[in-house]
Amino acid sequence: MAMKSLQQVLGGLDHQESWKGRRQFQQLLLCWGDVVGSAVAAQTRPIAIQRKNLSVATSSSAWAQNLAFERHRILEKLNDRLALDLTDIRFSTAQWHTRSLAPERPESTLLWENHPSRIGAEAVSPPSTAIDPQSAFRDWARSLRSRSQNLPLCPTCQCPTPTGELERWSVCSLCAAKEFGHGTRDRV
Check residue 102 and give its pLDDT: 42
pLDDT at 129: 62
**Region 1-7: what's the mean pLDDT?**
71
Assess whether pLDDT exceeds 90 at residue 124. Answer: no
Kindly report the average pLDDT of the chain as a whole number.
80
Q: Could you tell me the strand order of the sheet in which 88-92 lies?
A: 44-50, 53-58, 88-92
C-alpha 111 chain-centroid distance: 6
Q: Is the pLDDT of residue 110 over 80?
A: no
pTM of the predicted structure, to 2 decimals = 0.47
CB 57 within 8 A of CB 96: yes
Q: Distance (Å, rounded) from C-alpha 145 to C-alpha 124?
A: 11
**What is the structure's pLDDT at 104?**
54
For 57-72, the pLDDT digits (tens) are 999 999 999 999 999 9
Comparing C-alpha atoms, which of 92, 109, 72, 83 is closest to residue 23?
Answer: 83
Q: How far apart are CA 43 and CA 51, in angstroms?
A: 24
**pLDDT-derived band of residue 183, with 50, 70 and 90 as boundaries?**
low
Mean pLDDT in residue range 151-155: 92
Running DSSP on this structure, what letter comes out for residue 106?
-
Residue 170 carries which DSSP code?
A: S
pLDDT band at 18; cut points 50, 70, 90: low
* CA dist., res. 138 & res. 145, Å (int): 11
